[in-house]
Amino acid sequence: MIPRLSFGSRLLLCLISAALVWFSFPNFLCKTLTPPTAFLGWVALIPFFIALHETPPRQGALLGWFFGFAQFGGILYWIAFLEAAQYLSGLAWAVLVFYLSLYMMAFGWAYRWLAAKGNLERWIGPCLWVALEYIRGSRPWGGFSWGELGYSQAPYPPLLTITSWTGIYGLTFLMVWFNEWFAQWVLGFFKEGDRVPLLRQCFTWRGPLMTLGVLLALGIWGGVEIKTTPLLKKGTVALLQPSVNQDVKWSKENENATYDTLERLAKSADKGKPGLVIWPETAAPAYLLWSRDSRDRVVSIVRKSKTYHLVGCLDAQKKADGIVHYYNAAVQFDPRGKPEGVYHKRHLVPFGEFVPFQKYLAFLGPVVGDLGNFDPGENYVKFQVRGFSYTPMICYEVIFPGDVEKACRTGADALVNISNDAWYGRTASPYQHAMMAVVRAAEERKPLLRAANTGICLATDPFGRVLCSTNLFETTWLGADVLLATRAHRTLYSRWGNWFPCFCWGVVILCTLGFFFKTRALPAPPAPVEGNHAA
């Protein structure tokens, strides 16, 4: 018989699950791109599902919220240490984690409500989880997909192959499904009325064997695809990591020193004869195309290296209505130092690059500082250099699979991500951010070239395998080959976009409607018959 768990025991199980999720990601104890405990994501939710077993929907909602707060609180701990947010960093952490926990609260309630209507936990759970994750990471409803379970598997490229079909959501689905099956298997040991001896029950492996078989098949399929797909070198790049301290980055007195560092790195990188030199986000600390001194300095560096440069900077444009709009931008210069095109960041960081509902939240202005009033760009662009083309994404944009999928519709060969992770200090955030970027390469089957002000600069192949990377807070540059798959084609995900989470939503809606109409169609119970009840 299943032991009746107290509410405190259920909370403890939720906390254990949250801790296992923490350690499947880079965390406060293990800061690396390849945490050795990443595999824990495949069992992390078992205690959580056991805690939810046979609870009423309201209690399921409370357990879901508690698990969500513990999970996101641990993964996003670094927000509480953001020096840029000053005295509001702790409040920002609490508000964001509370908000994200509401999705898990909705999961706990809906999961238990649907489970009470029919024995479909093993299938409705993963579909519901993915459906809510899709909302959480999509605009206009959500817009923050950090900490989604599938990203923890970035260290295992063979497992990432499924993302070329379903996006990250398919991998998350499999992980939740795996956890749910094993949770039900564990609960089966204590099934009420089961006369099968415990020793024999231990050999009832149908569910676990099926889930393990799916995982093994996915790994073998991915490994074979990676091994049998030839890669073609189309060029080389140099990724600059100036590691400029955030305290002096925007200081006019430090501007010349910043350019001196970038020039020294570019000169050193010239030895590898790169076809493209990539500067990190806002590496040029100025409105570059409008500042004569800054532009002359950048043009001088470009001309000396005699190759293409992508320069992270700021930009401003005056529109037809006479209003000046400000952008976080990236400009490509040709080998002669002539600007060939500019990309304006489209997906801005709330409270970092703009203040939502600024009319009502004017007091938050000091948090984002002078750089917090950017406008979103309008279009994705494709830049061409010798040997290959690429589309740029700036920092935060790369964590959104839908945004990258739209950017790759330009037909570019490679994906370039420029970032400035110096904001986050020596926390796990830069590693978590880089892992999410790596998954985008696997989804689109395009190499990822990432330059950051300070770590993590890296390059991948089209399968998300990290070819080389840098450490935090070191002034250096990284040379990397641009490798394209010879059987290059648009992946199913790049053609159909987020079809899989929409499918999951369809399953959830159909099940809900089916249960609703089934309940309404049930005949009313017969009225009691008056008479001698003693008989």
Residues 6+ apart with CB under 8 A from 511: 114, 117, 118, 120, 124
Residues 2-41: pLDDT tens digits? 567 899 999 999 999 999 999 999 999 999 999 999 999 9
Q: Which residue among the candidates 127, 345, 397, 457 is catalytic per the annotation?
A: 345
pLDDT at 115: 83
The answer to whether the beta carbons of residues 232 and 484 sit under 8 Å apart is yes
The answer to whether the beta carbons of residues 383 and 358 sit under 8 Å apart is no
Q: Which residue among the candidates 281, 353, 405, 443 is catalytic per the annotation?
A: 281
Measured between alpha carbons, how far is 431 from 384 in angstroms, rounded to an integer?
A: 29
pLDDT at 535: 38
pTM, 2 dp:
0.90
Exposed, middle or buried: residue 525 (CB in 10 Å: 0-12, 13-18, 19+)? exposed
Four-point Cα dihedral 395, 396, 401, 402, nearest 10: -110
| Mean pLDDT over the full length of the chain | 88
Which has the closest alpha carbon to 33: 420, 388, 523, 465?
A: 465
Within 10 angstroms of residue 379's Cβ, the number of other Cβ atoms is 10
pLDDT at 205: 59
pLDDT at 4: 79
The strand pairing partners of 354, in sequence order, are 350
Q: Distance from CA of residue 256 to its chain's centroid?
A: 35
* DSSP 8-state secondary structure symbol assigned to residue 42: G
pLDDT at 211: 73
Residues 237-284: pLDDT tens digits? 999 999 998 888 888 888 999 999 999 999 999 988 999 999 999 999
- 281 flagged as catalytic: yes
Which three-class secondary structure state does DSSP give residue 442?
helix
- 395 flagged as catalytic: yes
Residues 72-103: pLDDT tens digits? 999 999 999 887 666 778 888 999 999 999 99
What's the helix, strand, coil split of the chain in %, to 5? 50, 15, 35
Q: What residues in the chain have per-residue pLDDT under 70?
A: 1-3, 84-86, 118-121, 140-142, 190-208, 356-372, 488, 518-535
Structural domains of the chain, with CATH: 7-228+510-520 (no CATH), 231-486 (3.60.110.10)
Q: Which residue among the candidates 14, 127, 313, 395 is catalytic per the annotation?
A: 395
